Amino acid sequence: MLWETINVVRDIPRLHEITSTLIRYGMADIVRTLGIGTLLERAGRFLHWKAQSDTLHLETPVRVRRALEELGPTFVKLGQVMATRVDVFPPNWIAEFEKLQNGVPPVPFASLLPQLEAALGCSPQEIFLDLQTEAVAAASIAQVHHAKLADGTPVILKIRRPNIRAKIEADLRILTHIARLVEFEMPEMRRYQPVQVVQQFSRSLRRELDFAAEARNIERFAGNFAGSETVVVPRVYWEWTSEVMNVQQRVDGVPGNNLAAVEAAGLDRKLLGSRGADAVLKMILIDGFYHADPHPGNVFYLPGNRIAIIDFGMVGRLTEDRRNQIVNLLAALAGRDDEAMLDVLLEWTGEAAVDEARLAADVNEFVFNYANVPLKDLHIGKLFGELTVIMRDHYLVMPSDLAMLFKALITLEGLGRQLDPDFDMVTHLTPFVRRVIAERYMPEVLFKRGMRNLHDILSIATDLPRDIAHLIKETRRGKFKIDLDLKRLDRFAHQLDHSVNRLTLGILIASLVIGSSIVMTVQGGPTLLGLPLFGLLGFMLASGGSIWLILSIWRSGRE
């Protein structure tokens, strides 16, 4: 039983809180289907199965969103991740998930002191000057305080909320078991890989809880933009940074969501949009390491039309193969190449069954609809939206690392158009795509790829004599085995069983015909209509068996 692995003493109270919330928001059927209610009642925790009447009139997406908000930071973060899964959820669900916010009231600074003193080895007032005990920002996981270093350098202290890790770890354990139950109890949900999604979400959230990991992200971004005169990444002060606190340079600029202040500062909105887009596209297509949440609240505009990016807790990583797939897709979108786009989508489907002919027709129609649209009028958000509708219609699930990427690109386009109504995302994409494609065929890249392939071939050749010797020894010992994984083996065995049964029946029918013919020639015994009774019965049984056999063969030919 999957639930036996839960530490009852530790997780049952939180599980009761979660299920009670789901029931109050009209999701009792899910609780019953998963069997959670039975588990809680066995543990002596009885549930009130009636939903609140004031929530029943709400649409299902609204009720789900409100339940996630009430359940706290883990579930709010999960909802924000689900907001990136435009390939799974329809637009009305995505719109509700996007309303989930991390904003919560800050905790008193006195509550933070014990963990700060443990991390610093002394009181924070001994290290920082002008430490403001009133938080300037607060979220579900952390809150921010302003301070200064001993030399007067302004910094921010991003401090983790006390006791937040224990609650999140309990939630992640429960989510893991719920995902397993969903796969076990709801076969139709298996294609969405809930266990894998929760595992990836757990890794991401645990990284977000480690503020030292965020500091490492900041340093990596700073290295990627070293020498840039247009992009600013805050400096990290490692002397006082730890798992529970991140100390970094304070950025004083115009907040990205204050367009009036941008105008008042005399900044060039068109140039800011262009530079912001180029910065994020460099992260994605060149570096393979990108800021996964480039919304206006994480951007500041500085004098000289420079851009400062903050909050690197949520980042995305792309392998070289995945970057190549993205480039191929973007090149296909820009070039209206439906065959290239279909190839990428089929790569993403993995082993999932798909009607390739119908998918190809839908992709062809998608490309045809944009055949004569000027590049400047193409909206990446709309294109990706229609593409994900096609994926949903074909029950294709986008790889989880791409869902976050698509969301980042859509957010980036929205930010660009906020700054410049004429912002053209495709125009900014095109030079990056061309650059990546050109780099694939540079001599040094081809040489490196060839050397890697040569190394693989030599490794195989070097290991071949040993592998053959091992194979011969195993054969001599009688331990040589071949494991065959045949698709549809059960169906094959079923068909074989039917064939053997028909063959056996055919032999029996032939035997009845021959035996009955012999009986017909024997004088004496009971008769019917002047014919030997047993011979007549044999012919009747043979006729009935023949009719059944003919019908069975005819039906199998139609399947």
> CA–CA separation, 203 vs 326, rounded Å?
24
- Sequence-distant (≥ 6) Cβ neighbours of residue 539 within 8 angstroms: 512, 513, 516
Q: DSSP assignment, residue 238?
A: G
Given CA atoms 337, 338, 339, 342 in this order, what sign does their dihedral have? positive
Given CA atoms 337, 343, 348, 353 in this order, what sign does their dihedral have? positive
Helix residue ranges per DSSP H, 35-154 = 36-42, 53-56, 60-71, 73-82, 91-97, 109-120
Q: Tokens representing 233?
A: 């990444």
Q: At what angle do helices 356-369 and 380-393 cross, to 10 degrees?
A: 160
**Residues 370 and 51: beta-carbon distance below 8 Å:** no
Residue 290: Cβ-neighbour burial (10 angstroms; 0-12, 13-18, 19+): buried
> CA–CA separation, 340 vs 24, rounded Å?
48
Q: Concatenated DSSP letters for 505-542?
A: HHHHHHHHHHHHHHHHTS--S-EETTEEHHHHHHHHHH
Tokens 């304070």 belong to residue? 250
Looking at 87, 171, 293, 338, which residue is catalytic? 293
Q: Does residue 293 have an active-site annotation?
A: yes
**Residues 204 and 175: beta-carbon distance below 8 Å:** no
At 149, which amino acid appears?
L
> CA–CA separation, 176 vs 172, rounded Å?
6
Q: Tokens representing 468?
A: 């053959």
Look at residues 250, 236, 255 and name the one whose alpha carbon lies nearest to residue 153: 250
- Sequence-distant (≥ 6) Cβ neighbours of residue 201 within 8 angstroms: 77, 78, 81, 175
Q: Tokens representing 479?
A: 């331990």
Look at residues 413, 430, 429, 418 and name the one whose alpha carbon lies nearest to residue 270: 418
**Residues 149 and 162: beta-carbon distance below 8 Å:** no
- Per DSSP, what are the bridge partners of residue 289? 317
**Residues 381 and 263: beta-carbon distance below 8 Å:** no
SS3 255: strand
Nearest-5° angle of CA 397, CA 402, CA 406? 105
> CA–CA separation, 210 vs 287, rounded Å?
23
Q: Tokens representing 370?
A: 């944009």
> CA–CA separation, 373 vs 350, rounded Å?
32
- Any idea which residues carry the catalytic annotation? 293
